Every structure is written in structure tokens, then in C-alpha cells.
Amino acid sequence: MTYTASVSSKVAQHVIDTISGPVCAVDPDYRYIAFNTVFSEAMLDRYGTHVCLGGDALQGITDESDQARAGEDFNRVLAGEAFFGPAWWEDSSFTQGAGLRFTPMRGKDVVSGVLVTAINAADSAEVAAIKEALSSIIDSADDAVITETLEGIVIGVNASAERMFGYAAKEAIGRPAPEIMFPGCVDDVAALLARVAGGESDEHLETVCVHKGGGLIEVLLTASPIYSEAGEVVAASIVARDITARRSVMRDLEAVHEDAVRQEDELRSANAILQNEVSRRALSEERLEKALRALRTLSASNRNLIHADNEQALLQSVCDIAAEDGGYRMAWVGYVEHDLERTVRPVAFSGVEKGYLDSTRITWGDGPNGQGPTGRSIREKRSVLASDLSTEPGFGPWKASAAARGFRSSISLPLFDRQGSVFGALGIYSQDVDSFDSEETLLLEELSSDLAFGIEAIRTRAQRTEAERKVAESHAALKHLLRGMVEMMGKIVETRDPYTEGHERRVAVVARSIAEDMRLPEKDVQAIEIAALIHDIGKLRVPAEILMKPGLLTPLERGFIEEHARAGFEILKGVAFPKDVAQFVLQHHERMDGSGYPDHLSGESILLGARVIAVADVAEAMSSHRPYRPALGVEEAMVEIATHPELYDKKVVESCLSLYEAGHLGL
């Protein structure tokens, strides 16, 4: 909702017309935006000037001294000041012995106009007394009372509102209430005002407001329309009740109960003239006991809701608590079925059931078995109370079974999912007629709402767990498939060069051991291992006779060999391998001093994974047999990498040597 800079014309005119003295409203350009008949007549009487909406307020005052005084007063108010001053027309009968009240009209962060009200000393003592009495009543109320225009502009607050929200009346009046009091729920308050504007009385909204000094307050807003004499809704009266501490209601009610019992004992010895009071207190105690049993049920159920992880166990525990802790005759939960008969399927019950739920099928359709409290609550999406089951319309199919089990009254409460659809109902039976009063009903409705939330939460967790399980299985399958594909690619390379059979697999073992010893992230370890398994895949493009040549290679043949790193990159770059696998293959023959190939990279410009594979490749190659030389052994390989710090990464070499000395290198 967009809040205008000033009050609506209807509200402004209504408020102004109800004031007995002269009053006018002026915009920042000194143009009249509202005035009452008394003001118009006063101007005509004093200056001989007619006023009109949009007219210049200063030009209308023909006396230059009056005009100057009015301009000065307007400017003070437009600067944000509210004050009481002498009237411009001191000889007017309307303002003798009184003066003018100047009030800024505020929009969003700006003063959008000036309200000038003449305070008439001739107001009757009776009217003043009424105003004072009304003000005293409103100001002494525990609840905050806020009067607003239909656009949300504050036009009045009581003392409780000042305390609750932290804004003095002079700070709040003329400003948008949602902006300063309800910034987190502007749309909800706007919708509330819209319903009131439509003439709906006693509209309620539970929401959160903000104190000026910080901190959140839970409030229950009750909004009622204010009507003009013509019957139009011109403003709203909003009562804000602080419900932050409602969770302490249980303790307060138990204290009241103990006090009621103590007072009842005292009243038993009182004389006969107090019997009426005793009867009244007994009735209060009965209502209190009903509220207490509902509170016991709600409190115990909520404790179970916090720890529940099984839907059936949750349903059964709530039914057990209602029957055992709450003292209800029977409680049950039924789920909505979308079969042809629209069956309500019992899923949990507790108490004096004795086959009641099997005695007659319960449905939520339009047939005879759907006219009971359960079927109606599901169909109509509301709580249905049956105060006397023996006379309840539509209860015929269950009347005899209910009477045999001592069921005298019942309440059925729908269970809503997150989309607002009814998926079940909670039914509670009592052994008393007229058992469920309004307070107890509200608490049981809260119980059904909490139960529905708990069921939805359990289902959501189960769905998430199942989804996570499927994702994990899929991930494991893909990982296994990827590993198989990589190993297959390595074996394809080995078919071209049988002298190096197992070389890439052993390099992968050494590279993984080094990466894990260096405490690299698991995703980096996996990428290094995959790259090591296929680091020589580019040899598929090298002639087999060169790969298996037993003697020294010619420069041309060596050039073919050195191209295998780039060829491997070209083969792998379009494959969706983990991060940097193709780059690791491209760089695994680069050296720290730039003497490697194919791009003569050096130092930190070589990826760490490639540096790990380079050391693992040299260590494995030197310890294995080749066509052009016998195996040199692992120890000789360790000497090679240790004595050439200009070629290999220092930290990778340190890790490799440490693993070798501990017997964990994998060679």
C-alpha cells in the first residue's frame, strides 16, 4: 500500500467539520486543502474575503500585519514545529480568550501541510468534561489505542501506545503507522485497514511490532471502523494488545485456580446471602478447569512435537495426551481419503473407543455419513462443535454408539497442510454436554494447528532424507562409473605400450597418497587421482614403434613423445571431468625452472595438481622397467627428486620422501 503525504480529503473534511471553532488545513505552498464553515464565516466576517479550496491562504488575509504573522506561523510548522499561539484576528468573537493550535501534517519523512485549529474559550464546560473523561479513559487503558486514517496516518494515540511503541504523541501524529510501528508487516496492516474501510468490525491480526528503541513485541490488533454522521467509514480505531507473554498463561491460570479453590473453601463457611457469589465462582471454576485441561493437552503435545520424528508415533502421542492428561473421553485422528465415498480413515485414537470408529463409516462427502462434525469440519474447513450429541443434527448414524460410550459432546478440528488444503481432522469427545467453551476451543484449535505443522515437518524431513539418499546413491553410481571410464581409458593407453602396463594406476596411487598427506581438499585429491590415471592418454597419438623403441630417441621422435601432453589435453578438454583434470594432464611434464614441456611453465604458474603428478610420475617411472633401460629402483627415484629442487615442488617432494620413509608411498 502506498501512503500519501496527507490525510484523505474525506477524513480531513469530516474531522474539520466536527470541530466547533475555526479550523483550516494549508499545504506547503500556502493553498487551502480543507476548512470548515466556521472558518469560512470568520474570514468573511474579519476580512470580507471568501475562501475556496486551492486558494492562497496568505493573499486571503488582506491585513498586511495579519498576513505577515500567518506566514511566519506557517513557516515554523513547515519546519516541523507544533505550537500554540495567538490568533491572527484577535478581535474575532471566535477566538476571544483563546488562540490557535498549529500542527504539522506529516507524510513520509516530510511535513506535507499545516493544520490550524482555533481553541475557543467559549466551549461549554460539559463538552470539555466529556472530552477530558474520554481522554482519561483511553489514556488509562492497558492496551494501546491508535486512531488512524484509512491510509494509515496516525491522528491519535493514548498513553499506553506511547509506552508500547516508544513514540510520543507529537512524534507519531501525522506519520504513517505501518512505517514507524509495523515496518515488518506493512502489507498485513494495510489489508486490515482495507477490511475496516469496507465496514467490517472487530477485525483481528496477530503480528509483530517494533519499539522505537529496538526490540520486537508480539501484538494482537483489533481494528474497528469510525463512521461519519453520513454513515461513511472515515477512520479506524486500532487497539493493540501485547501478547508476548501469552506462553506464561498456564502458570497464571494455575495460580488463579489455586486461589479459586482457597476462596471456595472460605466461602463454604459464609452465610446464606453469599450463595449467589458461590454459584458464580463455581461457574468460573468450571470454565477455568476446561481451559486448564486444554492447556495441559496443548503443553504436553507441544513438548512431544519438538522431538517427534515419526508421524504415527506423533499422532498416537497426541491422542494419548488428550485422553490421559487432558481428561477427555476419547480423541482420534482421521485422514482424508479421495476415494469414491470420500472416506475418513482413522489412523490413531485413545480413550474409551471400544470399536466406535468401526461401528459406522465416517466420510466427508455429502451423504448421510458425511453430516457429522468430522465430515463437516473437513468439508467446510473449520472447527465444528457439537454441544449435545443426542440432539445434534446429522449425527444419527453414530448417536447410539456415542451414547453407549458416554460421549455427550464433541469438537472436530481440521488439519491443514501448507497449501491450505485439509488432509485430516482431530476429533475430541467429552462426557459432558456443552463441554467446549470459547476459550477451550481456541486452545484446541491451536493444538490442531501445531499438530498439522508437526505432521508436515516430519513428512518434509522424510522427503528430504529420501531425496538425499537418492542423490547420494546417484552420486556414488556416477563416481563409480567415472572411475571405471577413467581406468578403461588408462588401459587403452597401456595396450599401445605394454612395457608401461600398470604405470598410470601406480602413478595415481602415489599421487593420491601425496595429495592426502598434503591435506588437500577431497575434491582436489579426486581430481589429481583421475588426472594421474589418464595422464599419458595423449600417447594414443604417438606411433607405437616410438613408444616401444629400445634405444635412444631421435630429436624428431622425442618431439612426438613431448606432444603427448598437449594431445592428452585436447582429448580431455571437452569432457566434463572434475575441476582442472585436463590442465593437470597438460602440465604434468612442466618443471619448476621452466625446462619442462609443452609450454615451459615455471614456478606457481604450474598448477599444484600437475606438480604432484610430476613427482609421482618420475618416482614410478624410475622404479619400473622400460624398453631402453632396466628398473632403477624406488630409492634411486627418491634420490633423483630430492637432489633436483630446481625441477620439482619442494613441498610435494617433502611429502613424497616422508611417505617413502614411512612405507606408505604405494610403490
Higher pLDDT, 326 or 254: 326
Q: How far is CA 255 from CA 261, 370, 455, 461, in A?
A: 10, 43, 33, 39
Q: Which amino acid is at 297?
A: T
Q: Are 397 and 356 in contact (CB under 8 A)?
A: no
Higher pLDDT, 527 or 233: 527
Mean pLDDT over residues 183-188, rounded?
A: 80
The pLDDT value given to residue 411:
93
The Cα–Cα gap between 666 and 432 comes to 81
Q: How far is CA 285 from CA 261, 262, 278, in A?
A: 8, 12, 10
Q: Are 562 and 597 in contact (CB under 8 A)?
A: yes
Q: Which amino acid is at 500?
A: T
Query: Of the ranges 285-299, 363-377, 411-425, which one carries the lowest mean pLDDT score?
Result: 285-299
Rounded to two decimals, what is the model's pTM? 0.38
Q: How far is CA 61 from CA 117, 259, 590, in A?
A: 17, 69, 94
The Cα–Cα gap between 467 and 660 comes to 43
Average pLDDT of the chain is: 78
Mean pLDDT over residues 76-80, rounded?
A: 86
**Share above pLDDT 70 across residues of the chain, in percent, rounded to a whole number:** 75
The Cα–Cα gap between 383 and 376 comes to 9
What cell was used for 3?
501512503
Query: Of the ranges 182-196, 202-216, 359-373, 593-607, which one carries the lowest mean pLDDT score?
Result: 202-216
The Cα–Cα gap between 485 and 534 comes to 10
Higher pLDDT, 73 or 252: 73
At 659, is the pLDDT very low, low, confident or very high (cuts 50, 70, 90)? very high
The pLDDT value given to residue 388:
94
Using the structure block, give the residue that is written with the C-alpha cell 470454565: 287
Residue from 625, 630, 626, 667 nearest 641 by CA: 667
SS (H, E, C) 478-506: HHHHHHHHHHHHHHHHHHHCHHHCCHHHH
User: pLDDT tens for residues 431-449?
Assistant: 989 888 888 888 788 888 8
The pLDDT value given to residue 658:
92
Query: Of the ranges 239-253, 481-495, 635-649, which one carries the lowest mean pLDDT score?
Result: 481-495
Q: Phi then psi for 111, rounded to 5 degrees?
A: -85, 120
Q: What is the DSSP string of 368-405?
A: GGG-SHHHHHHHHTS-EEES-TTT-TT-GGGHHHHHHT
The Cα–Cα gap between 546 and 561 comes to 8
User: pLDDT tens for residues 549-597?
Assistant: 666 777 787 777 778 889 889 888 877 777 788 899 999 999 999 999 9
User: pLDDT tens for residues 556-565?
Assistant: 877 777 788 8
Q: What is the separation of C-alpha 618 from the centre of its chain, rounded to a whole number of angstroms?
A: 58
User: pLDDT tens for residues 306-322?
Assistant: 666 788 888 888 888 88
| Residue 462 falls in which region: left (phi positive, over 0), alpha (psi -120 to 50) or beta | alpha
The Cα–Cα gap between 597 and 442 comes to 79
What cell was used for 183?
515496518
The pLDDT value given to residue 463:
82
The Cα–Cα gap between 611 and 338 comes to 64
Q: How far is CA 196 from CA 183, 582, 596, 603, in A?
A: 20, 68, 81, 74
What cell was used for 157?
494515540
Residue from 38, 44, 41, 47 nearest 65 by CA: 47
Query: Of the ranges 206-210, 428-432, 604-608, which one carries the lowest mean pLDDT score?
Result: 206-210
The pLDDT value given to residue 3:
32
Mean pLDDT over residues 111-116, rounded?
A: 82
Q: Are 106 and 133 in contact (CB under 8 A)?
A: no
Could you give the angle at the alpha carbon of 448 between the alpha carbons of 392 and 429, nearest 5°? 35
Residue from 547, 613, 561 nearest 585 by CA: 613
The pLDDT value given to residue 129:
43
Q: Phi then psi for 395, rounded to 5 degrees?
A: -95, 5
User: pLDDT tens for residues 231-241?
Assistant: 677 788 888 88
The Cα–Cα gap between 304 and 315 comes to 10
The Cα–Cα gap between 405 and 349 comes to 14
Longest dimension (CA), the chain: 128
User: pLDDT tens for residues 125-158?
Assistant: 444 443 444 454 455 567 888 888 888 888 888 8
Q: Which amino acid is at 173?
A: I
What cell was used for 625?
622397467
Mean pLDDT over residues 535-543, rounded?
A: 80
The Cα–Cα gap between 50 and 45 comes to 9
With 80 as the cut, is the pLDDT of residue 264 above it? no
At 253, is the pLDDT very low, low, confident or very high (cuts 50, 70, 90)? low
DSSP letter, residue 433: T
Residue 351: how many CB atoms within 10 A of its CB? Answer: 22
At 513, is the pLDDT very low, low, confident or very high (cuts 50, 70, 90)? very high
Higher pLDDT, 286 or 637: 637
The pLDDT value given to residue 632:
67
Q: Are 529 and 514 in contact (CB under 8 A)?
A: no
Q: What is the DSSP string of 138-193?
A: HHH-SSEEEEEETTSBEEEE-HHHHHHH---HHHHTTSBHHHHT-TT-HHHHHHHH
DSSP letter, residue 55: -
Residues 6+ apart with CB under 8 A from 193: 1, 148, 150, 151, 152, 223, 236
The Cα–Cα gap between 648 and 512 comes to 17
